Structure 1
Amino acid sequence: MHPPSSVVAAPRHWVLPFAASLSEPCQHALPHLNAEGTLPHLRRLLGALQVSQRLLGDEYALSMPHERVLAAEMGWPGAVADSNPADADGLLPWAAWWAAQDGVSLDPAQCWGLLSPGHWLMGRDHLTLLDPATLGLSEDESRTLLEAVRPLFEEDGWTLQWGAAQRWYAAHPSLQDLPTASLDRVIGRNPDLWLTDHPQARMVRRLQSEVQMLLYQHPLNEAREAAGLATVNSFWLSGCGQPPANTALPAPVQWVNDLRAPLLADDMPLWLEAWQHVDATVLKDICTALDAREAVKLTLCGERHAVTLTLAAAPSLGARLGRALRQLTGRPDTARVTDLLETL
């Protein structure tokens, strides 16, 4: 008999989206993270870990960097770091992942998309898509609105399923290989700029117009407007594709989404507070895992790129002497917390 082979446990992997952005408010806020005593655990991790992988993209890609990282962890085709981002851009089936979180069973033979009911704010020069999570839409309101728009979709052969107040699911043959922009990519921006010119998107654009007209004077929206609440006047379609074989993140992977809402809202004081909270909780846990000699990975994601950090090799004698000298003389390391964040 042969002895059982040893199994090496996968390293614990923390994925942190919205660590930085190119927006002007964020660029003005980033230097605050360099203040002395700020983010001590992130400082320690940046000193102890080294970049082991870079996932490159740009701010105009349809898929967000963290979506590609998480999709790669689940083994979805086209999402791995060494692939061409354009191969799967906007084609990652996140509708199926969200349906699994909502406990909704989708027909695996059909192509599904995530319909996010939302408010398109009419400005003087352009539209802005508000974050659906800020609408405070109740389950009853959401179900009422879904039933109101259902005939528009079903007469064109669509299948609709309710999942949650902010999430509806739609199936149609036209969603096969239809690239769409992530909801996280479009929030706070002009949705018109993110509507692709793909031939299969024409029906979606028509339905968006029809839904806007239908909901304009809907009694539910009139009641919301009278109460000072934003109306639901359209939807965003994203995450299209057939349900993949795996819609569960591996057990060692932790998706940390604390920075999302404040960054998408350009609420920089709240975003800086969220960073402090993440440092005091999540990043502290990673430091504890390091102290216990556990294998760890930390992936920081911006709106263009993602960078994965793992345990660095033992520093050379010269590096150790240099660090000891800086500590004795009181001279700090020249690296700033934001040196890495600014590259995302």
Structure 2
Amino acid sequence: MHLLIPYASTLSDAGLPTQRGLALPHLQRLLPRMVPAQRLGTDEYSLSTPAEQAHAQLLGWHGADGCLPWAAQAAAADGVPVGDAPWGLLTPVHWHVGAEHVSVGYPEQLRLSATESHALFEAVRPLFEGEGWQLTWGSPLRWYASHASLDGLPTASLERVIGRNLDLWMPDHPQAKAIRRLQNEVQMMLYQQPENDHRAEMSMMPVNSFWLSGCGRRQPTAATADLVIDHRLRAPLLGENWGDWAEAWRALDAGPVRELLAHHDAGEAVSLTLCGERFAQRLQAQSQGFLARLARRFGGSSPLALLEAL
């Protein structure tokens, strides 16, 4: 069993007190049984999150920072015939214009219905198709685009931009010129849509832009039958709901982490990958010899120290 946990730690000043107060007894017991293996990542400004980098490596993918083809993989899973064309994920979002900068809101907070999403999608589709793009609707928050300019185009993960200054993340690659122009046209088109007027009447945030991510051609994937990715920390961390994040961590510790510990104690091969904003740290089981047992009894890694190092 290989357990991969995205959003296991935070760099947020508001979230650090909660992180430092976490009590994770099963992780505390597991860590002395593990040794550090591979570490991926650089800093919190990489386009691809450490969790994406770790997952992509396990899938056997290759690609530079910001060039992992998540869109093509998701489109294929949604039944879209992706072929060998490059694809990108267009996520309908709300851009919040603040006093100092523009930021992207958490998409799930839009509570965008399929009916609304379809209507907005159909409104903007002619803008893309008139420029030779192919657009396909996948779900309320997953619109797929295909165009030659998306091949090798580095883009920031949506998780990188939520709640942050967009100026740091807007694609400036020469191939992004067309998408930035289309984005301006889409914003003007969305402003005129009756669906957004209705949302305003209901005191709901309008859909006023999109975010492009996960560009590239679909790659073959390696078998990952033993891989378990637990996403329960994502929503509370991105929404900065620290009480919910701590509760989710405790549930994760009592569930999948406890299960991983049981697999280890049964003599099975196990791995754990913890992912923060800067790094993804993989740990694997150490030997069961006398020295290893002694080390487990008298020492070991601290969960807090490990999380803060991510």
Shorter-chain TM-score tier: over 0.9
Larger radius of gyration: 1
Q: Please say if 1:56 is aligned against 2:45.
A: no
Match of 1:302 in 2: 276
Which of 43, 46, 50 is the aligned partner of 2:31? 46
Moved more, 299-308 or 19-28: 19-28
3-state SS of 1:24 partner: coil
3-state SS of 2:214 partner: strand
Which of 72, 89, 94 is the aligned partner of 2:65? 89
Letter in 1 for 2:213: S
1:103-127 Cα shifts (integer Å, max 9, x gaps) = 3222x23111000001011111111
For residues 321 and 142 of structure 1, the distance between their equivalents in structure 2, rounded to whole angstroms, comes to: 55
Distance 1:318 1:160, change over 3 A: closer
1:183-225 Cα shifts (integer Å, max 9, x gaps) = 1111111223201211111111111111111111310000011
Query: Shift of the alpha carbon at 1:18?
Result: 0.4
Which of 221, 225, 232 is the aligned partner of 1:258? 232
Q: Please say if 1:122 is aligned against 2:88.
A: no
Q: Is the 8 A contact 1:70 1:249 kept in 2?
A: no
For residues 260 and 249 of structure 1, the distance between their equivalents in structure 2, rounded to whole angstroms, comes to: 24
Structure 1 gaps of 5+ residues are 1-11, 79-87, 327-332
For residues 322 and 249 of structure 1, the distance between their equivalents in structure 2, rounded to whole angstroms, comes to: 32
Q: Please say if 1:154 is aligned against 2:129.
A: yes
Match of 2:302 in 1: 336
For residues 176 and 107 of structure 2, the distance between their equivalents in structure 1, rounded to whole angstroms, comes to: 22
For residues 203 and 168 of structure 2, the distance between their equivalents in structure 1, rounded to whole angstroms, comes to: 28
Distance 1:216 1:92, change over 3 A: same
TM superposition score normalised by structure 2 = 0.95
Aligned residues: 310
| Runs of 4+ deviating beyond 3 Å | 314-319, 333-336
Q: Is the 8 A contact 1:183 1:238 kept in 2?
A: yes
Q: Is the 8 A contact 2:101 2:165 kept in 1?
A: yes
Q: Is the 8 A contact 1:15 1:254 kept in 2?
A: yes
Q: Is the 8 A contact 1:112 1:241 kept in 2?
A: yes
Give the % identical residues: 50
Distance 1:164 1:317, change over 3 A: closer
Which of 253, 266, 275 is the aligned partner of 1:279? 253
Letter in 1 for 2:124: V
Which of 8, 26, 30 is the aligned partner of 2:19? 30
Structure 2 gaps of 5+ residues are none
Match of 1:330 in 2: none
Q: Is the 8 A contact 2:33 2:296 kept in 1?
A: no
Match of 1:168 in 2: 143
Which of 218, 230, 234 is the aligned partner of 1:243? 218
Match of 2:55 in 1: 70
Q: Is the 8 A contact 2:127 2:182 kept in 1?
A: yes
Letter in 1 for 2:56: A
Q: Is the 8 A contact 2:38 2:282 kept in 1?
A: yes
Query: Shift of the alpha carbon at 1:322?
Result: 9.2
Distance 1:135 1:25, change over 3 A: same
1:154-190 Cα shifts (integer Å, max 9, x gaps) = 1111100000110000011111111000111111112
Query: Shift of the alpha carbon at 1:317?
Result: 4.7
Moved more, 144-153 or 45-54: 45-54
Q: Is the 8 A contact 2:32 2:296 kept in 1?
A: no
For residues 42 and 61 of structure 1, the distance between their equivalents in structure 2, rounded to whole angstroms, comes to: 27
Moved more, 275-284 or 51-60: 51-60
- 1:122-271 to structure 2, matched below 5 A, reads 122-246=97-221, 250-271=224-245
Q: Is the 8 A contact 2:32 2:301 kept in 1?
A: no
